[in-house]
Amino acid sequence: MERSKVIAGLKEILVPFLGVGKEKLDAATEQTDINKDLGVKSTDTVNIVLELENKWNITFEDEEIDNLSEVTIKSVTDLVMSKLS
């Protein structure tokens, strides 16, 4: 799976959880913080994880979610890529 496709899929998943306008998501880079920069509530992290699991038919351990020290496009993409490889 190409990294760019994972990022695109992640951005698609993030749309209903945004606390800011979609243009900020469109302009997001890998360094963009999903909570701070995109206004996604921390309580929705688990919902995003569920969507990721469903989209790519993968499973995260609870510890892997807990260990996300910062929730950026990059950290989430890395996690998904590690499951797909």
Partner 1 sequence: MTEVAITGVGIVTSLGSDLETFSKNLQEGKVGYKTILLHEQLNFRSKIASYPDESQIDFQSYGITPQMLLSCDDVARFTLAAASQAVKQAGLSGSLAQDPDCGVLIGCGIGGGNEFLDLAFQLTNRRPSFTKEKKWKALNPKPRNMGSHRVDSTMASTCSANASVFFKNQGMGESLSSACSTGLGNIGYGYRMIKHGYQKRMICGGAETSCWNVAAGFDAMMVLSPTGSHSLSGKRNGFVVGSGAGVVVLEELQSALDRGAKPLAIIKGYYSGCCGSGDMVAPSRDGQIRCIKGTLADGHPGWENKFGKDWKPDIVKLHGTATPTGDAVEVKSVVECLGTQGYCLTAPKALFGHLLGAAGSVELISAIDMLNKGYVTPNIDCEPLDPDLEFVTHLIPRKIVKGDFKTVLCLSFGFGSTNAGMLIEKA
Report DSSP letters for 12-51, one per residue: HHHGGG-SS-HHHHHT--TT-BTTTTT---GGGHHHHHHH
Of the candidates 2, 42, 3, 49, the residue with the CA atom closest to the CA atom of residue 19: 42
Does 9 interact with partner 1 (rule: CB under 8 A)? no
Does 14 interact with partner 1 (rule: CB under 8 A)? no
Q: Which of 7, 17, 37, 77 binds partner 1 (CB under 8 A)?
A: 17
Q: Which of 1, 30, 36, 54 binds partner 1 (CB under 8 A)?
A: 54
Residues that bind partner 1 (CB under 8 A): 15-19, 39-41, 43-47, 49-51, 53-54, 59, 62
